[in-house]
Amino acid sequence: MATVAFRTAIRDALDEELAADDRVILFGEDVAVAGGVFATTTGLYDKYGPERVFDTPISELALAGAAFGSAVTGLRPVVEIMFGDFLTLAMDSLVNQSTKYWFLTQEQVSVPLVIRSVVGAGGRFGAIHSQIPASWFMGVPGLKIACPSTPADAKALLKAAIRDDNPVLFFEHKRLYTLEGDVDGAEARLGEAEVVREGTDITLVTAMKSVHDSLEAADELERDHLSVEVIDLGAGPDRDRDPATPAMSEPASSSGPLDRAVDASKVGSRLRAERERLGISLRELARRVGVSPSLVSQIELDRVNPSVSTLYALVTELRMTMSDVFGDSRAGDRAVPQLRGADGLAERPETRRVINLASGVRWERLTPHSDRDVEFLYVVYPVGAESCPEDALMTHGGKEYGYVTSGTLGVRVGFEEYELHPGGSIAFDSSSPHRLWTIGDEPVHAVWVVIGRKADPRGE
């Protein structure tokens, strides 16, 4: 068993399939002489010559058209469209021709082609070179998708894709190219998911780089006695699979989180229902909150996910709590009116706890029944306020995530200092010595999430 890099596994798969089948050809932008912009095709041009490995002009539609034409005339093309963002330019040939031809010929002519494409954020490639367009193609009949997460998967799935008689989109996450892992030469089948970690409490279903992120999260949650199952969908869905013979184990019990996800999609309708109950017009609510009526309308129709600051402003203006919006909805429930003080904090004593820090800093819980494990807080720092003296930094374990809605907040974590302006956010480990303070002559308003705080040095 050899340990190889992800990019090397890609190259080895191409090399082996080119050697095994003379019908396999490889073409795309800079795949030949240059060996690929991500060094996944080095040496293949020299080994197989310009008849089978060649460069093309920059035209995604032409590439897809050439792949379709060569596939239906007996070849097995592997095409590289450098970035997945530009697959939109190849849509007509790929979606309207390649995936339909098998059906249009009454299942007489297959279209065995593979389109490799790089996806994912990372490396500062910019907004239009960093998307993951897999979901755009999930509903296209006749098209298979592969999204490997390890070098072993990359090699096995690419070989399976080249041998498959259907069009296959093969996505390669750019942040995985340097990942190393054991490659044992095992074969893979497109359409089969894999349980990469067993668990009983929560199921995370993911692919590509997020598989590794999910495994790290699972390790963290295990310390909190939560058993997390991680499922890698790297081979994509198999629409021909008999549902009675699933490719993966029965998911861990996750109906709670799934139900909450469904409830989250009803945020807009709950806001609209409360607005109408209070007799407030959409235009008037928008004026009070300081946003356009069209934005409020889109939020109420659940067509737009509002920012934290906008959502909090709407919830507060409608005299609701975050639990009213995200929690269980029971018939007959009505929001309890809130009164706001001069500092902007809601006066809701039965569901809030105010934490008073030095210099008048106040933290208000936004949800009732919260605990020390997870706190969702609204924070007000008056002018000149600070979380602690400069010579006595705080440390209390857990993690903190902050989002500033107005004012300028200074944050020191360890030896690093930051300035957060409206719209700015930060995340840090609370076990590191830290301090927060107001900068300038304007109070700071922020939304804060504290997770896993082990001790609370602040007075209440």
Considering 129, 173, 434, 445, which one is annotated as catalytic? 129
3-state secondary structure string across the chain: CEEEEHHHHHHHHHHHHHHHCCCEEEEECCCCCCCCCCCCCCCHHHHHCCCCEEECCCCHHHHHHHHHHHHHCCCEEEEEEEEHHHHHHHHHHHHHHHCCHHHHCCCCCCCCCEEEEEECCCCCCCHHHCCCHHHHHCCCCCCEEECCCCHHHHHHHHHHHHHCCCCEEEEEEHHHCCCEEEECCCCCCCCCCEEEECCCCEEEEECCHHHHHHHHHHHHHHCCCCCEEEEECCCCCCCCCCCCCCCCCCCCCCHHHHHHHHHHCCHHHHHHHHHHHHCCCHHHHHHHHCCCHHHHHHHHCCCCCCCHHHHHHHHHHCCCCHHHHHCCCCCCCCCCCCEECCCCCEECCCCCCEEECHHHCEEEECCCCCCCCEEEEEEEECCCCECCCCCCCECCCCEEEEEEEECEEEEEECCEEEEECCCCEEEEECCCCEEEEEECCCCEEEEEEEECCCCCCCCC
Residue 129 designated active-site: yes
Q: Determine contact, residues 326/333, Cβ cutoff 8 Å.
A: no
User: What amino acid positions are annotated as catalytic residues?
Assistant: 129
